[in-house]
Chains A and B, each alone.
Chain A
Amino acid sequence: MISVQSEDFDLCHEYKQLRENTDSDGAIVTFTGLVRDFNTLGSVSAIEIEHYPGMTEKSLMNICSQARKRWHLGDVRIIHRVGVIEASEQIVFVGVTSKHRKNAFEACEFIMDYLKTNAPLWKQESTCSGMKWVKSNQSDEAAIASWYGKNRDDKDSSQSA
């Protein structure tokens, strides 16, 4: 299940839900992303995330199905917050269950890498000199490319398929 929401989420609740939904799975891996209070230009008091209603949800669902094609997974849960989020708050949650830990670890990392480079979400940071749009990160591109072992165009065509 995927959610795009402005509200915060409760990690314990999400973990419990994953446990309840597991069908004899032996592994649950979760990742939680937090707002850093600094960047290369100095301190950050909050961020604001813009999204593309409809496409963001569609993109996250596509990420889930890409992960399911690669690994045998039980439950997959993605939550991404939008709007204004204060420093140190939670932004994103990914939870994956699987029979064995390796699949769950890998799928969780893949989902985050894919999300970083494909989901239509844009971040602004509130700094001492005003709101600044965050630039896309080359290392994020490299991370997702490494899962595919080929270039971005190939990956994009797999998304539209």
Chain B
Amino acid sequence: MVKLKFFAQLRERLGTASINIEYAGQKTVADLKDALLEQGEKWTLLKEQDVLCAVNQTLCGQDARINDGDEIAFFPPVTGG
């Protein structure tokens, strides 16, 4: 099982803040996105260029390794401060 979290505009556009999905051996964040895309058209939003990703609360790229039990978050560019 991996836990997916979504924030800000991306959370609103997807209509969900968090989901758990079965871990099916995906190696990277990019693999995970491909797997999600097979489950529905709305997940194409994750492929938009400015979407950032964090694995276990550390910012990382699309080729970052993922494992069973990870927490993976997707969000737009940050605007704090």
Contact = CB atoms under 8 A, between A and B. Distances in A.
A133 B7 CA distance: 12
A101 interface: no
B57 A92 contact: no
A91 B50 CA distance: 25
Contact of B8 (A50, A156, A159): A50
B80 A49 contact: yes
A133 B80 contact: no
Interface in A105-148: 112, 115-123, 133-137, 140
Interface stretch (A5-13, A20-28, A51-59, A69-77): A51-59
Contact of B79 (A54, A55, A134): A134
A135 B79 contact: yes
Given A52-B5, A55-B54, A121 B59 contact: no
- Chain B interface size band reads 10 to 19
Contact of A80 (B50, B59, B60, B80): B80
Nearest to B5: A52
A149 interface: no
Contact of A92 (B54, B78, B81): B81
Interface of B: 5, 7-9, 50, 54, 57-61, 73, 75-81
Given A120-B7, A120-B75, A133-B79, 15 more contacts: A50-B7, A52-B75, A54-B57, A58-B57, A80-B80, A92-B81, A116-B80, A120-B78, A122-B7, A122-B8, A122-B80, A133-B76, A134-B79, A153-B61, A159-B59
